[in-house]
């Protein structure tokens, strides 16, 4: 029987999410990859146990994570029942709805019909009475944002979610969503967005918008699907994500120019006593609007390495200038 490490809160950094009362661990565990039915359950369980022992309290899911869709939630539900149930009040479980989940006109996008039905299904798969954060996974161009916010309002006020968030909303959409929710008496606390050294679009207005509204940012894909690690410096490993799926990280993404940049970043990381992945995560966490960075893992050692980033979060002006020169070259 699993018993959590009694020292798990001693070294993790917890950051307030915007102007809410909720604190999130600097590093969170995502279930986007490696938690589907084709992945070994015992390995998933070890990863979750080790994450919690290291102070990771936020577990990030979505209805369509798998494969097949729903599998990651089901596997989390099994792990929750076996290991985490006694610690329910010490963990943050988040899920999302907004991408294709089932056939027909009510299994996709942002209608109230879809979002609330999806949340009910997610709770059943995860063996939970409620989730801590329920996200609209993406804005729907054909559904008024007000209706999507009504669904989040209903989720929170029915007790099926404690907090509401959005994901992949641009600055203008974020403002519309925030104000629509506010008029209903609902506070959006977070926008979950993609951000890493090779994908910096959210620096162009979104972080300023979140800061202005008092919302936090939760970051996904912080390591560019593994590109910002040592993993591809000497070729493409056979057990890599590129070889396994080639969907989210393609062989064409691993260009000589990017590998050269990672090599140069590695030199900075070594001077700081970090790995490249730790450098990339620390670089994101320097931004004060960021409340948490979601990492994926196929091995326990990857979680251990990623959490190590919090031991060195300070950057000199010279280091930041050097990083920008490398990224902009």
Structure tokens at 255: 């260009």
Q: pLDDT tens digits, residue range 285-311?
A: 999 999 999 999 999 999 999 999 999
Q: pLDDT tens digits, residue range 153-186?
A: 999 999 999 999 999 999 999 999 999 999 999 9
- Statement: residue 2 has pLDDT above 90: yes
Q: How far apart are CA 329 and CA 327, in angstroms?
A: 6
Q: pLDDT tens digits, residue range 39-78?
A: 999 999 999 999 999 999 999 999 999 999 999 999 999 9
Domain boundaries, the chain: 14-255+276-314
- Statement: residue 254 has pLDDT above 90: no
pTM of the model: 0.95
Question: What are the helix and strand counts (H, E) for the chain?
Answer: 11, 10
Q: Mind giving me the DSSP string for 188-257?
A: EEEEEEE-BTTB-GGGTTHHHHHHHHT-EEEEE-TTGGGTTSSTTTTS--TTSHHHHT-SSS-GGGS-HH
Mean pLDDT computed over every residue of the chain: 95
- Statement: residue 320 has pLDDT above 90: yes
Q: What's the pLDDT band for 7 if we cut at 50, 70, 90?
A: very high
Instruction: Please tell me whether residue 319 adopts helix, strand or coil conformation.
Output: helix
Cβ-proximal residues to 299 (8 Å cutoff; 6+ apart), any chain: 43, 47
Q: Mind giving me the DSSP string for 131-182?
A: EEEEEE-S--TTS-HHHHHHHHHHHHHTTSEEEEEEES--HHHHHHHHHHHH
Q: What's the pLDDT band for 243 if we cut at 50, 70, 90?
A: very low
Q: How far apart are CA 60 and CA 62, in angstroms?
A: 7
Kindly report the CATH number that applies to the domain delimited by 14-255+276-314. Answer: 3.20.20.100
């Amino acid at each position: 029987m699993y018993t959590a490490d009694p020292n798990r809160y001693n070294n993790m950094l917890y950051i307030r999410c915007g102007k809410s009362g909720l604190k999130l661990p600097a590093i969170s565990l995502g279930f986007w990859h490696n938690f589907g039915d084709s992945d070994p359950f015992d390995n998933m369980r070890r990863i979750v146990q080790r994450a919690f022992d290291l102070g990771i309290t936020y577990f990030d899911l979505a209805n369509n994570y798998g494969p097949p869709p729903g599998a990651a939630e089901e596997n989390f539900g099994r792990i929750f029942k076996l290991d985490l149930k006694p610690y329910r009040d010490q963990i943050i479980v988040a899920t999302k709805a907004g991408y294709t989940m089932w056939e027909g006109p009510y299994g996709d996008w942002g209608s109230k019909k879809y979002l609330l039905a999806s949340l009910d299904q997610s709770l059943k798969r995860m063996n939970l009475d409620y989730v801590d954060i329920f996200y609209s996974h993406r804005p729907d161009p054909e559904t008024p944002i007000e209706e999507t916010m009504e669904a989040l309002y209903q989720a929170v006020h029915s007790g099926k979610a404690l907090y509401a968030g959005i994901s992949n909303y641009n600055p203008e959409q974020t403002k519309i969503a925030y104000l629509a929710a506010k008029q209903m008496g609902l506070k959006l606390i977070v926008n979950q967005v993609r951000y890493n050294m090779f994908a910096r679009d959210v620096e162009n207005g979104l972080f300023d918008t979140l800061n202005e509204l008092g919302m936090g940012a939760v970051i996904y894909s912080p390591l560019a699907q593994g590109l910002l690690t040592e993993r591809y410096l000497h070729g493409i490993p056979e057990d890599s994500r590129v070889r396994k799926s080639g969907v989210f990280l393609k062989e064409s993404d691993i260009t000589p120019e990017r590998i050269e940049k990672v090599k140069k970043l590695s030199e900075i990381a070594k001077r700081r006593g970090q790995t490249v992945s730790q450098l990339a995560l620390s670089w994101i966490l320097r931004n004060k609007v960021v409340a948490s960075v979601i990492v994926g893992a196929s091995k326990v050692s990857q979680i251990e390495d990623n959490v190590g980033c919090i031991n060195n979060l300070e950057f000199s002006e010279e280091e930041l200038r050097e990083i920008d020169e490398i990224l902009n070259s």
